[in-house]
């Protein structure tokens, strides 16, 4: 009923363990919402009292609750040992590279905050093994004595016997038949069920090949992401390359940046239309596309947002360049604004401080973004950006610049 202040003492007195197991996710929804409100007010101790009693043991809500508890404890010095314990517990109860690297990186941060750099090196090295995740890349950059690179970043060749075994599987045979008769919707459903049964990166690459042949590039990326979440990286399937039109490059935005946004927005589905009417590869809403078309001196044609990938990328790159200009070259702020809108980003700057100012910890600033989707979006686009720089360079090693990207626009 909008009575958040009245609800707070009730939530602080609540014992989540008294709730039925089936209701504990809903209890966390309320605790987490209240904790985010307290974080917005700078009341970290109050927020920590809410999050640390979440009573969850597994799943996405557990991961968020345990991470937030650790992050808050780290802010509440001298509670660094509690923070390290939260991150250790998180690491022990998650399985995806994204979640593992986040737990390991922040565990290292908590140990380093206690002055134990030797102990911190162990989880930091574990985090660095997850080389295509945001926190894995951060760990890799932190551990490097000098410039480091993602090269070589390529898939090993697939031998004919492996290909033949894959294509002989009943599900693969069924999908080939569906492709032949043009049943792409059913084919997509089969693929999204089949990807859970695959056991190697090569199989994910072969499934992606089949889907691209069927003109389903976005489903190819989606299934490859399933493999990536299980630790099976197929580079070409997970991070496909599209030609970025010259008009899109004319604004000075990196090709890798355009691809990084497109992968996160649509998984390269040029026909994607969201519930909010965002359209095409870079998911432009019509008003944004009209603004970008005026900037570029182009006529606005809504149909082209989905019919012409080059048109969509040209307008998307123009809008991204506008956001970079608006936020002083800050990649973090431009990415957040692409997802949540510039007005929200300006509000967060006013509330949490300006991450372009020295002395504001950019990682902490990102964690204070109140929208879970936007926090995730910033991390995913920045990790995509590192991978696409190396993909575009092929075998030439490109220095990892994730820490520099976080500091762009700092004054």
pLDDT in tens, 379-401: 999 999 999 999 999 889 999 99
Question: Which pLDDT does position 3 carry in this prediction?
Answer: 54
DSSP 17: G
d(CA 135, CA 40): 24
Closest Cα to residue 221, out of 380, 76, 113, 367? 380
User: Which of 241, 190, 171 lies closest to 392, judged by CA?
Assistant: 241
The third-level CATH classification (topology) of the domain covering 4-143 is 1.25.40
152: which DSSP letter?
S
The C-alpha angle with vertex 268 and arms to 184 and 204, in degrees rounded to 5, equals 65
Q: Which residues are catalytic?
A: 265
Q: What digits encode the pLDDT tens for the residues 215-248?
A: 999 999 999 999 999 999 999 999 999 999 998 8
CB 266 within 8 A of CB 281: yes
Residues 82-126 have pLDDT tens digits of: 999 999 999 999 999 999 999 999 999 999 999 999 999 999 999
Q: What are residue 279's phi and psi, to 5 degrees?
A: -130, 140
Query: What does CATH list as the number for 246-407?
Result: 1.10.530.10
Burial class (CB within 10 angstroms; exposed 0-12, middle 13-18, buried 19+) of 55: middle
Contact 167, 190 (CB under 8 A): no
For the stretch 320-349, pLDDT in tens is 999 999 999 999 999 999 999 999 999 999
Query: Would you say residue 26 has pLDDT above 70?
Result: yes
Longest Cα–Cα distance of the chain, Å, equals 66
Rg of the chain (C-alpha set):
22
Question: What percentage of the chain reaches a pLDDT higher than 70?
Answer: 99
In a 3-state reduction of DSSP, which class is residue 52?
Answer: coil
What sign has the CA pseudo-torsion 225, 98, 339, 153? Answer: negative
- Mean pLDDT on 72-78: 92
Name which of 257, 263, 271 is nearest 304 in CA terms.
Answer: 271
Average pLDDT for residues 270-290, to the nearest whole number? 98
pLDDT per residue over 240-275, tens digit each?
999 999 988 888 899 999 999 999 999 999 999 999
Buried b (16+ CB within 10 A) or exposed e, 306-333: bebbbbbbbbbbbbbbbbbeebeebbbb
- What's the mean pLDDT when you consider all of the chain? 94
- Distance, first Cα to last Cα, the chain: 42
**How far is it, in rounded angstroms, from Cα 331 to Cα 409?**
8
């Amino acid at each position: 009923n909008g009575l958040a202040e009245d609800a707070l003492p009730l939530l602080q007195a609540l014992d989540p363990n008294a709730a039925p197991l089936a209701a504990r996710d809903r209890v966390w929804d309320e605790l987490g919402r209240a904790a985010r409100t307290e974080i917005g007010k700078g009341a970290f101790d109050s927020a920590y009292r809410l999050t640390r009693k979440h009573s969850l043991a597994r799943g996405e809500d557990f991961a968020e609750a345990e991470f937030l508890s650790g992050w808050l404890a780290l802010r509440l010095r001298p509670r660094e040992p509690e923070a390290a314990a939260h991150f250790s517990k998180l690491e022990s109860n998650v399985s995806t590279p994204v979640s593992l690297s986040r737990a390991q990186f922040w565990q290292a941060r908590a140990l380093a905050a206690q002055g134990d750099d030797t102990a911190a090196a162990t989880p930091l090295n574990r985090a660095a093994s997850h080389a295509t995740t945001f926190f894995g890349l951060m760990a890799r950059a932190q551990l490097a004595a000098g410039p480091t690179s993602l090269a070589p970043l390529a898939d090993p060749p697939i031998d004919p016997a492996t290909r033949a075994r894959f294509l002989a599987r009943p599900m693969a045979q069924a999908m080939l038949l569906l492709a032949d008769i043009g049943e792409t919707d059913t084919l997509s459903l089969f693929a999204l069920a089949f990807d859970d049964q695959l056991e190697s990166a090569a199989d994910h690459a072969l499934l992606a090949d089949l889907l691209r042949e069927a003109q389903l590039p976005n489903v190819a990326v989606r299934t490859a992401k399933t493999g990536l979440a299980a630790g099976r990286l197929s580079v070409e399937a997970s991070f496909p390359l599209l030609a970025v039109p010259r008009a899109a490059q004319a604004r000075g935005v990196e090709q890798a940046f355009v691809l990084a946004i497109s992968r996160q927005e649509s998984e390269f589905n040029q026909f994607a239309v969201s519930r909010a009417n965002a359209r095409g590869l870079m998911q432009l809403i019509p008003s944004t596309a009209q603004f970008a078309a005026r900037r570029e001196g182009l006529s606005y044609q809504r149909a082209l947002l989905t019919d012409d990938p080059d048109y969509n990328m040209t307008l998307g790159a123009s809008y991204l360049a506008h956001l970079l200009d608006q936020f002083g070259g800050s990649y973090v702020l431009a990415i957040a604004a692409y997802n949540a809108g510039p007005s929200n980003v300006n509000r967060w700057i006013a509330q949490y401080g300006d991450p372009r100012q020295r002395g504001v910890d950019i990682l902490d600033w990102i964690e204070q973004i109140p929208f879970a989707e936007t926090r995730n979006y910033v991390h995913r686009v920045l990790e995509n950006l590192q991978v696409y720089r190396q993909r575009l360079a092929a075998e030439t090693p490109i220095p990892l610049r994730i820490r520099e990207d976080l500091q762009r626009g700092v004054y």
